[in-house]
Structure 1
Amino acid sequence: MWNEFKKFALKGNVLDLAVGVVIGAAFGKIVSSLVDDIIMPLVGLLMGGVNFTDLMVKVGGAEVRYGLFIQNVVDFFIVAFSIFIFIRMINNRFKKKEEAKPAPAVDKNVELLTEIRDLLKNK
């Protein structure tokens, strides 16, 4: 069982996934800092100095902190948009590399047989 586990854990896909999770967590921290430290204070300033984290409503003995919810929603959309842009750039880069590859040369016999097949289909 130990050997099977080592084969599974050391496969390229599992290691790639682990690296992706670590990089994703670091990227999430960067974007969260962007939202918390730059964007939300500017939005609050534009809205008359409102600090979203302080927005709350007291219902009985409970505090409903809807300001934190608003900030987390904005954070989510900025993270999602950032990841979308990042993935889109990567996909475009790989598409350009694939387009640059020349088409494989077709054997003349195969080309001739394809033409004969197409002629027979048309009859």
Structure 2
Amino acid sequence: MEETMLKEFKNFALKGNMIDMAVGIIIGGAFNGIVNSLVNDIVMPILSIFTKRIDFSKLFIALDGKKYATIEAAQKANVATLNYGTFISGVLNFLIMAFVVFIIIKWINKLRKPAPVAEPTTKKCPYCYSEVHIDATKCPHCISDLTEIESSI
């Protein structure tokens, strides 16, 4: 059983699946850095203009019922905090990042040239429905004359 598993792994690795996956992960990591920079350095500063520069990461509720100036002050007092601002910030980052990735993928898809449509090389015989060469005048399967049909079309 171990030999079979080793053979399967060897086949998997040698077919290029593992290398393709590794390249995808590396490119994904680099792409993640680009998108994070776009979100944090370009989109979020513009968004902060419209949100009056609210820093969501500083919004919290102290679970002991008292008011604290900052999350750090509450944590120094060993008080559990509900950091809903960090959650809001994470959700906003996700939505912005998802939208940016959508725009980038849409742009990349526009740059791609559509695959050329291959001309058909076969046609179906109207009598036996077998595939025959596009230039055939007689069906090799049922010996029907295909020129009469083409001239009537």
TM category, shorter: 0.5 to 0.7
Specify whether residues 40 and 90 from structure 1 end up closer, same or farther in structure 2 by C-alpha distance, changes over 3 A only: closer
Per-residue CA deviation, residues 43-93 of structure 1 (Å, 9 max, x unaligned), is: 234322311222222222322222222222122223323333344445452
Question: Please, what is the CA RMSD of the aligned residues?
Answer: 3.1
Specify whether residues 78 and 14 from structure 1 end up closer, same or farther in structure 2 by C-alpha distance, changes over 3 A only: farther
Q: What one-letter code is carried by the residue in structure 1 that aligns with 2:12?
A: F
Task: Structure 1: state its 5+ residue gaps.
Answer: none
Aligned match of 1:103 in 102, 110, 119?
119
Count the aligned residue pairs: 113
- In the alignment, what sits opposite 1:77? 95
CA contact (8 A) 1:58 1:64 kept: yes
**Residue aligned with 2:119, SS:** coil
**Residue aligned with 2:23, SS:** helix
Task: Structure 2: state its 5+ residue gaps.
Answer: 65-78, 123-133, 140-145
CA distance in 2, matches of 1:30, 1:63: 33
Computing the radius of gyration from Cα coordinates, the structure with the larger value is 2
- In the alignment, what sits opposite 1:48? 52
Q: Which has the higher helix share?
A: 1
**1:11 has 2:29 as partner:** no
TM-score normalized by the length of structure 1: 0.66
